[in-house]
Structure 1
Amino acid sequence: MAEILVLYYSRYGATAEMARQIARGVEEVPGMQAKLRTVPAVSPVCEATEPAVPDSGAPYATTADLESCAGLALGSPTRFGNMAAPMKQFIDSTSPLWLTGGLAGKPGAVFTSSSSMHGGQETTLISMMLPLLHHGMLITGLPYSETTLLHTVSGGTPYGPSHLAGVDSKLPLTEDEKLLCRALGKRIASFAQKLTDNP
């Protein structure tokens, strides 16, 4: 079974739920499985440390997880139109993998959640694409053949799935948002499968 790494950071749970929906989509493709991983929070206080194993949720990602995956879905909440610092810190630590070309030629995709509809979702998605392009990944978006994009009044972009969490970050994923997450998971897994079958 080839693995798609669904790597995310989530503070209030919405991005984690998107990751689970993407994983469901991945596992709709025969011969493919999803591997959920997260990254630890960062703190401006130098003494603050995270436990080696999270209290709940997915385990922390390692460079080995990236190296062994057949494809990558990368998710982060929107922070001022950019990915959150914990995800950026993890991505910044992947230079050794970049030197070996460990992600080159693999499909990559991105997803995000924000508190407002116009809170920078699309720029956040693009900010996460940039390091994937530097790693040589093949960016997989959501085409408008996913007709949910045409009528959603919540999240969703051609750059990748998005979620509108509300000002208190408590809005659940809408059915449209779930469908788009699953569609992305299925899409990246299908591309990874084709690339694995025809290297």
Structure 2
Amino acid sequence: MSKVLVLYYSSYGHVEALANAMAEGARSTGATVDVKRVPETAPEEVAKAAHFKLDQQAPVATVEDLANYDAIIVGTPTRFGRISSQMASFLDQAGGLWMRGALNGKVGGAFTSTGTQHGGQEVTLFSVIINLLHFGMTIVGLPYSHQGQMTVDEIVGGSPYGATTIAGTKGQRQPSAIELEGARYQGELTAKTANKLFG
């Protein structure tokens, strides 16, 4: 079976919750799955003053870790319609992996969180996906076979480009059952794809 990395950055725990659901879905296929986070780049006093969730259990990844996996699913909150600076900084350090083609042919995917329904989810997903395509990876999104993302009965995230959640402008909304199911679905599909290629 394949080895899957769920790599994320989360300030307040919303992307962390999606990351854990993504890992559940991937593990359901028999894949070996690790959940890791990228380093916090904000000064500690700034992070504490902003009430960042600093007690996350996932270990901190190194750039070289990426080469050890068959699939990498990347999660980041949206920052004004783009990837967070913490995740961007981490991926920017992967030039050595890119130079030697260490990620060519691996499977990748993206997931995100925004404060509002129209806060740039799809643009953020694409900003991750563009990075992964430059690394030579094959992208797996969240197809409409995950029917939950098509509901109009409640506020719900989700996009064909990846799982998402809507946190609320004050972070007051946690990922819903449908959003977590979307993350599990994408994780399962990504791992199944990697299992076919590498298993």
| TM-score above 0.5 | yes
Give 1:64 deviation, angstroms: 2.8
Equivalent residues in 2 for 1:16-165, closer than 5 Å: 16-30=16-30, 32-43=31-42, 55-151=55-151, 153-165=155-167
Kept in 2, the 8 Å contact 1:2–1:33? The answer is: yes
Q: Does 1:183 align with 2:185?
A: yes
The residue type equivalent to 1:18 in the other structure is L
Moved more, 175-184 or 148-157: 148-157
Q: Which residue of 2 aligns with 1:3?
A: 3
SS at match of 1:83: coil
Structure 1 CA distance for aligned equivalents of residues 123 and 134 of structure 2: 17
Match of 2:169 among 164, 167, 173: 167
Kept in 1, the 8 Å contact 2:22–2:186? The answer is: yes
Gaps of 5+ in 2: 47-53
Gaps of 5+ in 1: 49-53
Give 1:144 deviation, angstroms: 1.1
SS at match of 1:184: helix
Kept in 2, the 8 Å contact 1:5–1:65? The answer is: no
The residue type equivalent to 2:11 in the other structure is R
Residues 26-49 of structure 1, C-alpha deviations (whole Å, 9 max, x = no match)? 01002x021111112223x7xx9x
Structure 2 CA distance for aligned equivalents of residues 34 and 82 of structure 1: 27
TM-score of the aligned structures, taking structure 2 as reference length? 0.90
**How many equivalent residue pairs?**
190
Kept in 2, the 8 Å contact 1:25–1:185? The answer is: yes
Residues 109-166 of structure 1, C-alpha deviations (whole Å, 9 max, x = no match)? 0000011010101100000111100000001111112211221631100000010001
The residue type equivalent to 1:179 in the other structure is E
Kept in 1, the 8 Å contact 2:63–2:90? The answer is: no
Structure 1 CA distance for aligned equivalents of residues 83 and 57 of structure 2: 20
Query: Pairwise CA RMSD of aligned residues?
Result: 1.8
The sequence identity of aligned pairs, in percent, is 39
TM-score of the aligned structures, taking structure 1 as reference length? 0.90
Give 1:83 deviation, angstroms: 0.7
Give 1:170 deviation, angstroms: 2.2
